[in-house]
Structure 1
């Protein structure tokens, strides 16, 4: 494990000691890998037994190393949530995910690898700081997807830790429904799509070639995805449609659906409670999270879904922060 102090500009307001680190995790292929991230403690003296910890999955910011949360910092719209967690007395660990901030191409979206990175940073935190065995998984957007996979796998992957529950804010779920809507040739291009042209060949070697699906202009964007973060990608996509990027958008989205299907959020009875929130004005439709909540409830999971009235994808984290703190208090009180 390699550790250095987290630079002051990247620290949330009111934080205590904070570090940027590299730690050992498990790759999408089951082999050992190195991930990076940050660990931030509250200010003050730790309680007996150590700080209770929240492993937080950040939203997707791009796959180049400079886009990693440990390099780029917490986005302004997430900072109110991070600061609320620290004020409430929780240590916060934030993974960058495999291949973002470390050598190699990223594997996201890959549910198990995302979960492994979120769990293993908890182990790293316990080696570095006075942190309790009791911890919760939380995440936003892609991190919500990662947190839900973590809630499904945590007990089996890290039985020596005590996972208490999962909170997912505006999670990316129901990939099949998302891709079906994106198959319209006139639809705008989601800024994450060019990055998928880079990550799918990693997790499906020999099974996916970007050149089979992307137009020449689309391949230029796949190349650009190796150099820029999501904000710059969104600017590059202004005015482009799926027909500009894919030779056959409907067929391409059918292929994406098949490849992403194994990484849909596991629908089963989760061993710990799940709490979901989604803004009603989010461009990523809240109905997707409603569907996921219904599926998990039908499978026997203790799940609560909270719609956040008027919030969009960039305001929901701050709006739901007080509720997240309340949920955490309830989860950590459970035996």
Structure 2
């Protein structure tokens, strides 16, 4: 073996050792993850932490950065004003927190179903929000992801009850601050669809419900702010296929909570035959759900009488937004081709919020539907709010 070859092999050996050493250093948090210290003081006040366990299925980039995760049970407030236990997930970035603690972003999920098994905290994907959560943690934000009442926790889920879900959002922020201990009181929020209504409601409620917190702004994408119009469309037989699916979940959720909501007052025999399939979010029935939705006719789901229509209208009005001036600026993004939430319903909710004195920038996106709304401006908009820049408004 020549001296030159020996020297080359020595260099290669050194490089291999260096690469292995660097790789081991980078991947050590994955190979040997640390167990975070999680505060669980208990109590019954809104936001009080009842139980917290380490979330061990973090995405690899979170693991490498030493981010912390928790599945948390905490207290909130139900539609009647009574304490209720709910669940969710929280994340804290790795490293040293900035002065005042990590700013926190609440992520409010869209429709996942109405059963316990549907709860985002039950899956590694968090109901489709894990990618956004990872990006926010990487940008230096703590993150709170509530399941909402009745998803993953005792009791029934009041589907599309934005005020209740909004309190669940606020209390998830309180819980994350308690569990990790180094999270700021400054918060922002993002939510889409059902979560758009939840995060809008959390914005409105924050100043009254949680005066110790300091909201800087929320992004509401295709928000389910006011869907009272579903009742008139159901009576007229003009619900879209997507709206029939949403109506079925509204009726089933209401019937589970209130015996006055008799399912047969809101469905035909055709719908009743596939009702369990239409309600499913997990298990073998899920594979049949899309076909069952497609098979629903224009009049198969909705009130069968004036009395049933009045009862459902009253319920949806109790869910509707706005209810008060927003506590912080809002960016409302929606499409003019939305087949779940008619765009005029969102436009009207924005107009009413503006009339109450809210600071709102709304973007009515041509050709966009419900799930393809362009949210690329959301992270930059939220950063500007945390940076204290004046919020634009086109009220």
Q: Does 1:236 align with 2:288?
A: no
Specify the structure having the higher radius of gyration (Cα): 2
Distance 1:260 1:14, change over 3 A: same
Residue in structure 1 matched with residue 370 of structure 2 by the alignment: 313
Residue in structure 1 matched with residue 116 of structure 2 by the alignment: 65
CA distance in 2, matches of 1:286, 1:170: 9
Distance 1:12 1:102, change over 3 A: farther
Q: Is the 8 A contact 2:190 2:219 kept in 1?
A: yes
CA distance in 1, matches of 2:60, 2:316: 34
CA distance in 2, matches of 1:19, 1:145: 25
Structure having greater relative contact order (Cα 8 Å, sep ≥ 6): 1
Gaps of 5+ in 1: none
Distance 1:193 1:247, change over 3 A: closer
CA distance in 2, matches of 1:101, 1:248: 32
Q: TM-score of the superposition, structure 2-length normalised?
A: 0.74
Deviation at 1:234, TM superposition (A): 3.5
Distance 1:88 1:109, change over 3 A: same
Aligned residues: 329
Q: Does 1:23 align with 2:78?
A: no
Residue in structure 1 matched with residue 7 of structure 2 by the alignment: none
Deviation at 1:26, TM superposition (A): 1.2
Q: Does 1:201 align with 2:229?
A: no
CA distance in 1, matches of 2:255, 2:75: 23
CA distance in 2, matches of 1:170, 1:13: 29
Gaps of 5+ in 2: 1-49, 390-395
CA distance in 1, matches of 2:357, 2:60: 37
Deviation at 1:69, TM superposition (A): 0.8
Deviation at 1:208, TM superposition (A): 2.1
Deviation at 1:178, TM superposition (A): 3.3
Deviation at 1:32, TM superposition (A): 1.2
Provide the aligned C-alpha RMSD in A.
2.7
Q: Does 1:6 align with 2:6?
A: no
Q: Does 1:144 align with 2:202?
A: no
Residue in structure 2 matched with residue 326 of structure 1 by the alignment: 380
CA distance in 2, matches of 1:42, 1:241: 49
Deviation at 1:226, TM superposition (A): 5.4
Give runs of aligned pairs for residues 143-222 of structure 1, distance below 5 A. 143-185=195-237, 187=239, 188=241, 190-202=244-256, 205-222=258-275
Deviation at 1:177, TM superposition (A): 2.5
Residue in structure 1 matched with residue 135 of structure 2 by the alignment: 84
CA distance in 1, matches of 2:179, 2:252: 34
Q: Does 1:291 align with 2:348?
A: yes
Deviation at 1:235, TM superposition (A): 3.6
Q: Is the 8 A contact 1:4 1:19 kept in 2?
A: yes
CA distance in 1, matches of 2:85, 2:60: 25
Q: TM-score of the superposition, structure 1-length normalised?
A: 0.87
SS in 2 for 1:320: coil
| Bigger mean CA deviation after superposition, 226-235 or 205-214 | 226-235
Residue in structure 1 matched with residue 97 of structure 2 by the alignment: 46
Q: Is the 8 A contact 2:303 2:309 kept in 1?
A: no
